[in-house]
Amino acid sequence: MTESAPRISLVCEDLDDEGAGLCRLAPASESAPSSAEADVAFHVPGVLPGERCTATVTHRSPHKREGWAALEVLVHPSPARTTPACAAHGACGGCVLEHWAYDAQVAWKQEQVRGLLASTPQLPREALRAAVASPHPLGYRNKTKLVVARAEGGLRLGAYRPRSHDVVDLAGCQVHEPAVAEATESLRALLRSSAVMPFDETTGRGDLRHLVVRGNARGETLLVIVARTAESDGARFLAQALPARLPGLRGIVLNVNAHRGNAIFGDDTADRLLWGEASLEEDIGGVRLHLSARAFFQANRAVATEAYARIAAEAEVRAGDRVVDAYCGLGGIGLTLGRAGAVVCGIEEHAAATTSAAEAARENGVRDAQFVAGDVAAHLGAFGQAEIVVLNPPRKGCDPAVLAAAAGARPRLIAYLSCRPTTLLRDLVALTAHGYLLTSLTPLDMLPQTPHIEALAFLRPARAS
């Protein structure tokens, strides 16, 4: 950005996928240097729908009528604008909507799903249900991933500033559960007074790279230390000093990552137990799970519990019903249905997750459950008929072969829990073509203070006309 960069007056109409304002040139604007800015959609971080601002153009796409600008002055702030809870808001790039009242965030997410549904004529608009808000807009995240970096006066625990490798200190972050926040502050205090050397990505020297803290419903925590070598002095120091300072700590695990890439964890799947237990027991809706160092689990336990309960209520499991839980992860949804008497088959690409799910089935008294690792489409297609199919894929959604196999099982109910509405609606259209009807679609605010939207859809066989 230079002194000659155009300064323009904008009105924010919406948010983009990253939470930046989507703005157009303000009506009758005299600030535009030329008509070249007309009809250009500008992405402006920090601006909210309905706000008018002045901004400086930082980039114009040579291919599309799209640009990026930096906010200078808010001319007309939104009445829903509020003071962010975190001091690092705007710098860390995490909770980009913290300056927006929570009810406005939920309403926006509802309208995003409504708009997608309205643009998809194959799906019934009346299927949309009211969005489920998080009971805790702050203090809800049960996991944090922290970068360890050098700072003046000691070490810094934080996150990379967007599109850079500058580390922003996350001291005082308000979105983590109390136990996770307490563990993080204990780590920060220990490391600031220590001689531990953080990893330097430029030279490849140094020790600690990342710290991952996850918590459970009981307020207990598990620490994962990511270091450059298995002989990490920093890991040894934390394993000796932290347990005495943190009564709720249940285990410390070391992961070795010697690469210079951006991946948090190393390739070595054999994590090393330094102290205590290698996993953390979690409870979600009465189902006990074991969270290992790298296991996936929803960041918002309360909203995940609500989603599982809604699936169970809609499924109305009868004893002996056959359930396929595709992309099952640790098996939480399948085991929820298994406790009601279903015969469960969980399918997951990651073998470690299926091993944990099988152990959880035994602990929860679910006898008729099997968990298989491998290609979801192949295993689902080979399963045969099922009364209920659950789909919980990653952001890219389901492959067409998975959707064909799900419909081919002829279930009376397909439950689809999605973390990306655009791929969800694409897949719902495909399931409609396979003879299923969307009966309800509910947005879920799994990650408050972010533009991320999850949604839960139910489909049943279409009745012959």
Is-contact 358 401, C-beta < 8 A? no
- For the CA atoms of 261, 265, 267, 268, what is the dihedral angle to 10 degrees? 140
Is-contact 414 436, C-beta < 8 A? yes
323 DSSP β-pair partners: 344, 388
The count of C-alpha atoms lying within 13 angstroms of the C-alpha of 432, restricted to the half-sphere facing its C-beta, is: 15
Judging by beta carbons within 10 Å of its beta carbon (0-12, 13-18, 19+), is residue 355 exposed, middle or buried?
middle
Distance (Å, whole) CA 462 – CA 465: 9
Is-contact 326 375, C-beta < 8 A? no
Active site residues: 419
Distance (Å, whole) CA 394 – CA 396: 6
131 secondary structure, DSSP code: -
For 364-420, where are the alpha helices, taking DSSP H only? Answer: 376-383, 400-408
